[in-house]
Structure 1
Amino acid sequence: MRTVGLFLVLLVVAGCSSPAIDPNAQVITAAPVASVQRLVPPGTRTINAVMSIGNAPLHYPAPDGSGDMLGVDPDLAKALGGVMGVGVNVVGVTFDQIIPGLQSGRYDLSVSQMGITDERLKVLDFVEYFNSGTGIGTRAGNPLHLTVNSLCGHQVAVSNGSIQQAKYLPLLSTQCVRAGRAPIAIRGFPDQQKGVLALVSGRIDAVMVDLPVLQYAVRNVPDIVVADTYDAGSPVGIGLDKGNKLAPAVQAALVELRRSGIYQKILAKWAVQGNALSTFAVRTGK
């Protein structure tokens, strides 16, 4: 393992940015819009927006130890609150705490790049807000020649609670077994960037993480590459507990943020403008 590669990936895990991204840039604010405010449930003054940690440039803790969250999703959550005319508390947790927290009422919405699956639609409603997709990351040069279809028998890192852990890798591993090959050794980590660190340190063979996270890491770390993609360009959603009355306001706020150009400015600030959506569908599973 090259020492410089490990040093650089540690910087990525800490939340340092590539030259294209300025995490210290002022948060792009949004003013209240009356037509959106009318959709907010009466009595709502503040909303708690939850997201996972360790996934730069989408959402990650500030490196100053303040506990503040930086990235696409904290900025979008605050802008949504601005348009709705409510305060926003941004909370960072491990991904597997998000759904229980929404169901218990601890959090009002999740702005955490959550994949929309049939299983999740049984307990959550979603508003689509971003194009994501999944990437397969390997060491530079892809020495094991790994692709989505050749992961059998290899150790692959995922984030605990992620769609990659819950759906994508188990499906691929089942296909391996049916073909008479060894299953994929799925290795769970607390967040996606710790999986990237495990890859660079030689503890696993590949990572399967959100494509924007992997692309960000590749821009910063010379030791890894995007070897393949899976379900690329699939929309992710803002999650709410089933039947939460905030969903129409969230959708209307996203429409307003796009109309005003604030949505595009936030994505451009974090160099993910290519992942923008033009419409924001509400998904309830009905």
Structure 2
Amino acid sequence: MTIRGDRQKNAPPSRARHRLTAAALLALAACVTACAANPSVDESQSAGVAGNPAALPAVAAVASIAEQVPGKIRTTGVLHVATSATLPPMTYVADDNRTLIGLDIDVAKAVAATMGLRAELTNAGFDTLVPGLQSGRFDMVVSSMGVTAERQRVVDFVDYYNGGQGFLASANTGFAVNDLIDLCGRRVAVTTGSTQQSTLQDSQHICTDAGRPPYQLQAFPDTNGAVLAISGNRVDVMYSSISIVSYTAGQNHAFRVAGRYKRAMVGAALPKGTPLTQAVQQSVQHLIDDGTYKRILDKWTLADNAVQTARVNSARTS
């Protein structure tokens, strides 16, 4: 695997706020209880998401799928894949400040291998990914990109992950959050500049309209601070992406998933109308059927967000 490009600084705010190093994420599992007991601990140095180091088995090429790869790509033996490595545990930069890791990266490499290709990864700004596909710079984008009707007009998508938003709470609690109204009367953590923050700011009226006490919104500079606020009993729940919520709960039993909200399909993006889309769809479906896909999701403790079918262009356009 070859990696090109530097870490980008122009990721959208809602993604950039979740940007964490693997070292920092490892520290959270060890520190979260101690930090809660010792208020003098510097929270800015003690949180994060650590990747499961378990290696995945090699993925073999499937001749019937490889034959469907466009000749130009098949001749080079390289699949040019772009990602915006700002969203652990989906796609981010390892502690060496060079290697790209995450669920998205594992999926991209497995898809390429199934087609008999080598993935060449480029770390790029999120807002450059679709233009890069359209210009021919990239063959495929795997970057936790939501499948929407608007995007589907200019690129093709192959589903590989059931994303969306979620709520993280202490394992010692038992409340459920099925909708925003379930947050009424609770202290809610979000990351500054995130979609979740703006959603809650715009929805303040739902509690008073229902005759319930309002939720208390607390914004933190990053996910680290929000998670530590739960462990320190300074907030009741964190509202974030389902990937971060599921991963944190899976890595540390001090936390649990209190609810899932606004599920949204995530897909690999490809140039509109390319025959490569069919090859990628069959590749993802093959990985689902032979168990490789499950092993990837298990590695990142995200099995609850699996899809069973690799659909093409699944967003409603009507």
TM-score (norm 1): 0.71
2:301, 2:197 → 1: CA distance? 28
1:258 aligned to which of 288, 297, 314? 288
What pairs up with 1:81-100 in 2 under 5 angstroms? 81-100=112-131
Q: How does 1:37-116 map to 2 (within 5 A)?
A: 37-44=66-73, 45=76, 46-63=78-95, 65-116=96-147
Q: Compared with structure 1, are the counterparts of its residues 51 and 224 closer, same or farther at alpha carbon in structure 2 (3 Å cutoff)?
A: farther
- 8 Å contact kept, 1:148–1:228: no
The structure with the larger Rg is 2
1:195 to 204, 222, 230: 222
Contact 1:130 1:277 in 2 (8 A): yes
List per-residue Cα deviations over 1:246-285 (Å, max 9, x = no partner). 2111001112222322222222222223322221110076
* Aligned-partner Cα distance in 2 for 1:279–1:185: 38
Question: Which SS does the other structure have where 2:158 is aligned?
Answer: strand
Gaps of 5+ in 2: 1-31
> Which of 56, 62, 77 matches 1:33?
62
| C-alpha deviation, 1:95, in angstroms | 3.5
Cα deviations across residues 65-121 of structure 1 (Å, max 9, x unaligned)? Answer: 151122222111111111111110123345444334333333222222222122222
Q: What is the root-mean-square deviation of aligned Cα atoms in Å? A: 4.1
Moved more, 173-182 or 87-96: 173-182
Give the C-alpha shift of residue 29 in structure 1: 2.2
Question: Is the alpha carbon distance of 1:10 and 1:128 closer, same or farther for their aligned partners in structure 2, counting shifts above 3 Å?
Answer: farther
Native 8 Å contact 1:56 1:216 kept in 2: no
1:238, distance to aligned residue in structure 2 (A): 1.1
- Distance in 2 between the 1:103 and 1:185 partners? 40
| Other-structure match for 1:132 | 163
Q: In the superposition, relative to structure 1, how do residues 28 and 93 fare at CA in structure 2: closer, same or farther (>3 Å)?
A: farther
Question: How many residues are aligned here?
Answer: 267
Q: Identity over the aligned pairs, expressed in percent?
A: 29
Matched, 1:213 2:244: yes
Q: Structure 1 residue 16 and structure 2 residue 50: aligned?
A: yes
Provide the C-alpha distance between the structure 2 equivalents of 1:159 and 1:32, rounded to a whole number of angstroms.
44
Deviation, 1:220, is: 4.9
**Separation in 2 of the partners of 1:94 and 1:159?**
20
Residues 46 and 224, structure 2, Cα contact 8 Å, conserved in 1? no
Q: How far did 1:221 drift?
A: 6.3
Structure 1, unaligned stretches of length 5 or more?
none
Change (3 A) 1:42 1:159: farther
- Return 244-253 or 254-263, whichever deviates more: 254-263
CA distance in 2, matches of 1:185, 1:96: 29
